[in-house]
Structure 1
Amino acid sequence: MNIYFSGIGGVGIGPLAEIAHDAGYDVVGSDREDSLMMNTLQKRGITITTIQDGAFLREQHEKSPIDWFVYTSALPDNHPELLQARELGIRTAKRDELLAHIIKEKNLKLIAIAGTHGKTTTTGMVVWLAKYFGVPVSYSIGTTLSWGPSGRYIPGSEYFVYECDEFDRNFLHFHPYVSLVTSVEHDHPDTYPTAEDYDKAFRQFALQSESLFSWRELAHVFGETDTITYLDEVSPYVRLHGEHNRRNASLVLAALEQFGLPTKYAADGINKFPGTNRRFEKLADNLYSDYGHTPTEIAATLQMARELSDHVILVYQPHQNVRQHEVKDHYTDAVFANAETVYWLPTYLSRENLDLAILSPDDLSKHVSNVIVTDLDDTLWQTINEARAQGKMVLCMGAGTIDGWIRAHL
């Protein structure tokens, strides 16, 4: 089977391309710019172009007919490649449809990790433990890893571990064997206009799961059923930095007991978890990068940073103007309490509602007292290095261009 991935360098599509490659399918693809994911895929021999005018897709189809054209949710309906695929009569699908097809074709049991925050790290913990104890699992994680590929299919594996994202209702295309839900806090207003819409989708996800593990405070979302197990406290065996990491690890340990892995035994592996890229990732001495971009994620990551340093400097790039309209009142001193100074960047724009006014850094930070408005420029880089030289930890957070900007300067 021949599969063309449009947006192959993204954290959702890239791991799926790796899985398809492992499963023996012929894979090619495109993306508009280079990325860590693209570099990883090219090293595995996958042909990728950065020209997305449709000519490369047609050329590949003429060489050997493309069976699936799989595209990212960020691709507009009038994108040249999507139009070309339809003109050529190629089956078009988003990533969830192809993944569901592979899971069914390979007869895999799905272990799904969902939730507003912590999905990537928690998925990484499950996969890490499987590797640690020598259990073969196939998986997909929405980031790059220092200790393995982002996506992998292992022939003969029984389970597929998946970071099951709620955006675009992706997670409702699956019927997991076991689900873990880390948190539920209204997000993605472009998909779920209200908090009730969001909660309703998670309730449906729970109904589609054979069993589900979550936290007691989410009982108001899921209710009480025989298929749901609620945790009330963090496991005393977990010694990771960061309260949110300890909670996520506790959820993993509770779920894996269902597979006969005792908590005390499994904790030995989870306490050695090396983390995932773009989740409190150390890039250099006193310099860290994190994907978090909501008030809850900022507060949690700063709490972990303060466990490691008494002087934390935050550089923050908000993500999506439409999202900022939803969260602007949640930016308070309490969220940023563990930051000595906050350098606030303009919002990274993506999938925007053009009818909404663009909120400035001053608009968003008006309830935060320790803010300096800045830009991604040489002055900021000098400020970062001065803070590092003074022994302060610099934490850079955001899902936009900030991570690539930092790496380019190292």
Structure 2
Amino acid sequence: MHIFFSGIGGSGIGPLSLIALRMGYDVSGSDKRNSDYIEQLRKNGKVSIVITQSYDSISKIHMQNPIDWFVYSSAVSIEQPNSPEFQFCADHGIMATKRDKLIKHIIDAKQLQLIAVAGSHGKTTTTAMIIWLFKALNIPISYSIGGKISFGDIGTYHPKSTFFVYEADEYDRNFLAFQPYIAAITGTTWDHPDTYPTEHSYIQAFRDFVKQSKYTIVWQSGKEQLDIQINKDTVIIQDDDSHIMLFCLIGEVNRRNAWQAVWVVHIATNISISELIEHVNRFPGVSRRFEQIRPNLYTDYAHTPAKIRGALQVAHEIAGNNVAAVYEGFQNTRQHFMKNDLCHLFDDVKHVYIVPIYLAREDPGLEILSPNTLRTFLNDQTQGNTTPSQLRDCTRIM
């Protein structure tokens, strides 16, 4: 089977295309720009990838090797609903689906049990910790993760695996396509207003997800939000669980993620909690999740209030009150949604530099919020310690 991936350089499609390659499928794809995911794919096998998304380019690939399945990312369907690649598939009768259909096909075809990590924050790190634990235990595992890890590829298929570990994104309701064997809910703070216009609609999606899962692992605060009924298939973790202090990882968020990951693997394997804690305490981290890029300089993908608070807590644990932050908002739409949360978000930071927003999947009707405008959403005291900057000024910041 020949599968063409549109948006192959993204964090959702990239791992999936690598899995398809490992399973022996012919893989090709396209994207607007190069990425680390694309470079990793090229290193792992013969893959035809074009850095353009046009009728002509997909036509040439199809002529060389007829395409059987066209898989596209949510970003492609939203940003290019009339994409020439979609038109090509329609003209040639090629099946076109989002990634969830292919993942379901893989799980069903290989009779894998799905471990799905969902939630508004901590998905990538928790997923990575679960993968790390399986590897530390020498248990074969197949997985897809939305971040780079030092101890494996972004996605892989192992023919002897029982479980498929998946970072289940709630954006575009993707995670509702699955019926997990184990579901871990990391948090349910309202996000993605372009998919979920109200907090109720966001919470309801997670309630539906829990109903579709055999085992559920959730924090007490999440249990109350989701109105989960306690039974033998549910693990409720207390938010102040004393076991969290058994982890020697830096950062409260990392210790909480580790405790949930330990529970997931304990249920999957019945291996003792104490042995799993010992293994996860050696977890090496994930790219762009408080990743050190030089002495005293870290990068983090935190892009919601809860994630930013978590990243800053890690920073304060390392440096006390001597913390400066460079803030690049992710998505203009999201900045409009969370602007009230910005008021006290950086209260404990010594200095804040605000750079232009990273634009993606935007509402063209919304005003693009400049660094100067974002600064006005901070409280008066924090505004005095804030510098709106252009990206070209960042070398001076460093």
Q: Distance in 2 between matches of 1:380 and 1:60?
A: 41
Residues 266-304 of structure 1: CA deviation (Å, up to 9, x unaligned):
111101101111111122222221111111111110110
Query: What does residue range 5-404 of structure 1 map to in structure 2 within 5 Å?
Result: 5-45=5-45, 46-75=47-76, 76-223=80-227, 224-226=229-231, 227-232=233-238, 233-235=241-243, 236-258=245-267, 259-310=269-320, 311-333=322-344, 335-366=345-376, 367-368=378-379, 369=382, 370-377=385-392, 379-384=393-398
SS of match in other structure, 1:74: helix
Give the equivalent residue in structure 2 for 1:390. none
Unaligned runs of 5+ in 1: 385-410
Conserved 8 A contact 1:180-1:251: yes
Identity of aligned residues (%): 43
Conserved 8 A contact 1:237-1:264: no
Q: Distance in 2 between matches of 1:161 and 1:325?
A: 33
Q: TM-score scaled by structure 2?
A: 0.93
Shift of 1:234: 4.9
Between Structure 1 and Structure 2, the one with more helix by share is 2
Conserved 8 A contact 1:4-1:70: yes
SS of match in other structure, 1:39: helix
Q: Distance in 2 between matches of 1:380 and 1:106?
A: 48
Q: Distance in 2 between matches of 1:234 and 1:39?
A: 43
Shift of 1:84: 1.3
Distance 1:265 1:9, change over 3 A: same
Q: Which amino acid aligns with 2:318?
A: L
Shift of 1:85: 1.7
Shift of 1:57: 1.4
Shift of 1:55: 1.9
Shift of 1:72: 1.0
Distance 1:292 1:357, change over 3 A: same
Residues 352-371 of structure 1: CA deviation (Å, up to 9, x unaligned):
22222222323333224121
Conserved 8 A contact 2:28-2:49: yes
Conserved 8 A contact 1:303-1:338: no
Q: Which amino acid aligns with 2:175?
A: F
Q: Distance in 2 between matches of 1:295 and 1:219?
A: 21
SS of match in other structure, 1:317: strand
Q: Distance in 2 between matches of 1:133 and 1:159?
A: 14
Q: Distance in 2 between matches of 1:309 and 1:326?
A: 30
Unaligned runs of 5+ in 2: none
SS of match in other structure, 1:84: helix
Q: Which amino acid aligns with 2:388?
A: V
Q: Distance in 2 between matches of 1:375 and 1:340?
A: 20
Shift of 1:88: 1.5
Shift of 1:106: 0.6
* Matched pairs, number: 382
Shift of 1:142: 0.3
SS of match in other structure, 2:330: coil
SS of match in other structure, 2:146: coil
Give the equivalent residue in structure 2 for 1:407. none
